[in-house]
């Protein structure tokens, strides 16, 4: 897998170099820094106490901190360093290792009804070239749906190498991949092209979000997973970057979360 990882990193470095310049000394210094946050106000008007950015990321990943709107601006450098650095890749690989071990332990029925649900954004495909841009700043600036859709339409998102490895394992084991995404239905062709280019070339279903779907991601994805179960499928695994991918109804026999401190989807 060395070549895909190298290509993934090169694409991120080339795209991000103008907005995230760092020399080796700065990188070493950042690894030992505590990045303090100013107190911020949550959606319910509550004050979130001052913490360092590593603790903030832990709170996000463990679902202790919820319903936050944007990455705190004082954590932009920390999150950028994490997402473009070795630790993010190691964390994704650790998730994939556990998921693959679990997948290999399964005893399949042989009727071809076992499926593995994959989210797309920041799970199977990485939008880091977009989030590293100066007009996005790793989620420290307000979300712009138009700009993000324009990025998706390019079909240039690279694969997350660890999840691509899981996907290939799942296929080889006879488990059928299902992509379930909040991507707008109008971007279907761009998504198909991007998935194929990134190495995802076979799936049972690609489920995208239509105009009349629920606004809540939890409700939308729960509904779609319920439809799959009612059609006779068995969800043996489910992987996503958001907690909203992994909670609700019919989440599957086991769920796996890859890290994403850049945004929160409810």
Where exactly are the structural domains of the chain?
2-257
Reported confidence tier of residue 28, pLDDT bands at 50, 70, 90: very low
Looking at residues 122-134, what average pLDDT do you find? 97
SS (H, E, C) 196-223: HHHCCCCCCEEEEECCCCCCCHHHHHHH
Task: Note the pLDDT of residue 73.
Answer: 87
Within 10 angstroms of residue 6's Cβ, the number of other Cβ atoms is: 11
| Average pLDDT across the chain, whole number | 86
In tens, the pLDDT along 197-225 reads 999 999 999 999 999 999 999 999 999 99
What tokens were used for 60? 């996000």
Among 99, 78, 216, 104, which residue's Cα sits nearest to residue 160? 99
19: phi then psi, degrees, rounded to nearest 5: -100, -20
Q: What distance in Å separates the CA atoms of residue 160 and residue 92, rounded to the nearest whole number?
A: 8
The structure's pTM equals 0.82
Q: Is the backbone of residue 119 left (phi > 0), alpha (psi -120 to 50) or beta?
A: beta
Span 2-257: which CATH code? 3.40.50.1000
Task: Find all residues with CB under 8 Å of 265, minimum gap 6, and list them.
Answer: 182, 217, 242, 244
């Amino acid at each position: 897998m060395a070549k895909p990882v190298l290509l993934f990193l090169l694409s991120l470095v080339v795209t991000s170099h103008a907005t995230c310049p760092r020399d080796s000394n700065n990188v070493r210094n950042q690894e030992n820094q505590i990045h303090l946050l100013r107190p911020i106000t949550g959606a319910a008007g509550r004050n979130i106490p001052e913490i360092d950015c590593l603790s903030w990321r832990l709170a996000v990943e463990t679902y202790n901190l919820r319903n936050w709107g944007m990455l705190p601006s004082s954590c932009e450098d920390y999150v950028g360093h994490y997402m473009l650095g070795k630790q993010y890749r190691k964390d994704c690989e650790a998730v994939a290792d556990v998921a693959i071990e679990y997948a290999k332990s399964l005893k399949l029925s042989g009727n071809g009804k076992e499926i593995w649900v994959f989210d797309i954004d920041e799970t199977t495909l990485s939008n880091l070239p977009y989030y590293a841009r100066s007009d996005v700043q790793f989620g420290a600036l307000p979300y712009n749906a138009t700009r993000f859709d324009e990025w998706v339409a390019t079909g240039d998102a690279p694969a997350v190498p660890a999840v691509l490895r899981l996907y290939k394992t799942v296929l080889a084991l006879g488990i059928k991949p299902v992509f379930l995404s909040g991507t707008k239905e109008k971007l279907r062709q761009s998504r198909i092209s991007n998935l194929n280019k990134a190495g995802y070339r076979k799936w049972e279903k690609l489920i995208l979000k239509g105009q009349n779907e629920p606004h809540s991601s939890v409700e939308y994805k729960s509904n779609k997973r319920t439809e799959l179960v009612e059609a006779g499928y068995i969800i043996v695994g489910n992987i996503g970057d958001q907690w909203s991918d992994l909670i609700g109804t019919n989440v599957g026999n086991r769920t796996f979360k890859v890290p994403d401190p850049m945004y929160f989807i409810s």
